[in-house]
Amino acid sequence: MTEAALQFAETDKIGRVASVDTSRVAIDVTNSVLLTRLGIGQIIAIRGTTEREYLIAMTERVTRNIRDELPELEEAGGDGTILTTVPTDLIQAVLIGTFRTVEGAKTNTFKRGSDSFPQIERECFIVEGANLQRFMGILGSGFAPDERLKLGTFVADRSADAIASGDKFFQRHAAILGSTGSGKSWAVALILERAAKLKFPNIIVFDMHGEYAPLADESKGGFAKRFRVAGPGDLEKPGEDVLFLPYWLLNRDEMLSMILDRSDQNAPNQASRFTLHVRNLKGQTLDKEKREAVKKTFTVDSPIPYDISELLRLLNTDNTTKGVGKTGPVKGEWEDKLTRFISRLEAKLEDRRYGFMFEPPPQAMNYDWLAKQVLNLLASSGGAGIKVIDFSEVPADVLPVVTGTLARLLYDIQFWMNAETRTPVTLLCDEAHLYLPVRDDADAVQRQALGSFERIAKEGRKYGFSLLVVSQRPSDVSRTILSQCNNFLALRLTNDTDQGVIKRLMPDSLAGLTSILPLLDTGEALLLGDAVLLPTRIKLDMPKVTPDSATRDFWKEWGTIRPNDDAIRSAVECLRSQSRK
């Protein structure tokens, strides 16, 4: 018979149950020596209804009260003193789960939640030493070998691996949150490194600062494939790693959010003519490509190439065509109503910041181009399954358009794929606060992009499409998206507002754990959610390939490194050309 994982002696007993309030239990401490070894987040075992069962709780508060008590007769002094001062120590702990030595044919099992409340006066034991090692080992052994995602070790016991369920971590959305310098980028690199060891991983990283470029450098042990969204300097001779998002990929609402001024009294007319012409131009492309089947069911939102200069010509024709009256020419139905719309469209076409969209290479206008590009992003056979897309050269004001369009396009393809052939995809959204803002703070363009991500957050699980949100300011990230995340890797957070966001997203019984967020060391995190059996504090493993995000040693470098004059001059020219070349 297997040995019980939890074996307690009398010296391990810290007290007895004094009161129970739903998910919390108050423990009357009888062993003050043990209390000095207790810390917040310490595991306590409470004897259950049988000898084979323990209710597992985590400490979240310790208090001491002073009361007056009658002394024993032999201890009473001769000075008439009849009362003595006695300290009373209480531990408040939150119930986490149930441990059973034997459960049917299984031994040493742990599950989330408790089937019964602790009974008053039940003995409580501190779990430490060999008991803690065996218990921590049980937490990871419950997952199948092909499901295990090793993230690090438990802070409470550095000899035990912190194992999460890889399936549950990705399939129900997750978030990695922490202040700058807390170790977020390393945590991301670690998770990508673990995923890269699988046969066919499919993770697309939205890299805002180009810090994950080393992950694609084979000379440094890289395992990813890297793309760059085209900047102004890539329009003439784009490299093979340059990514374009032609305007015809945008749906009607995304396009109008950039061009249409809703306050214009002619906005309905402008939207109407735009919609009509775009639909007709896409229909002409289908006729040219002899796609009769697609022609019968396509809509204005279908990603079909069309000539935007022809669209501009048709709009100008509408805007200048006179009507015919009984006595001669009269003002046309659309005359002068499209002037502002046309000028806004022309401004976008001439803006080189939008070159990745309005100045694509000739091959991007081919009907088959889209399928080839999507294969680069969604396929993982015969190449790296981890794809890093560098957005560092994309101007901030157009960033929501790019991320929103790309995310919506990839999700739509996953949505329309046959369920039997669909494989899971995860979007890793780095620096999510830059393009997934709180809806009340978003402008028209940002809201359009935000809608795409919020749709994925709400519906993506059904179609094997998930989000992994990374941010240093969770208070600035869409509430809808964070509320759909079922797993959190919370690193150090020092801002009260950001801590409050985490606290609101957690069950009330676990909210007290957030009190240690500002005290976490670099690389330490609280792992919370249904991907782990026990919410706990872990020390993350260091990735083999580290991102370019290390904090610079300001004081040391100021004392040893002289600024490079040529590098500064070169940077000025890069700024002017909007290119790092």
pLDDT interval class at 72 (50, 70, 90) = low
Rounded mean pLDDT, 85-90: 80
Q: Report strand pairing: 174-177 vs 487-490.
A: parallel
Question: How far is the CA of 34 from the CAs of 13, 47, 308, 531, in angstroms?
Answer: 8, 18, 75, 32
Taking only Cα atoms into account, the Rg of the chain, rounded to an integer number of angstroms, comes to 31
- Between CA 197 and CA 205, with CA 202 as vertex, the angle to 5 degrees is 100
Query: Between residues 395 and 181, which one has the greater pLDDT?
Result: 181
Give the least confident one: 67-76, 302-311, 444-453.
67-76
Short-list 533, 491, 543, CA closest to 147: 533
**Range picked from 62-76, 311-325, 493-507 for highest mean pLDDT:** 311-325
Query: Between residues 177 and 502, which one has the greater pLDDT?
Result: 177
pTM of the model: 0.85
Alpha helices in 397-542 (DSSP H): 399-416, 444-459, 479-483, 496-505
For the stretch 3-26, pLDDT in tens is: 788 888 888 899 999 999 878 899
> Which two tokens mark 530?
């249904």
CATH 3.40.50.300 domain span(s) along the chain: 164-245+362-577
For the stretch 383-424, pLDDT in tens is: 678 999 998 888 777 788 889 889 999 999 999 999 888 899
Q: Are 548 and 185 in contact (CB under 8 A)?
A: no
Q: Which CATH class is domain 164-245+362-577?
A: alpha beta
DSSP result, 410-430: HHHHHHHS-TTT---EEEEET
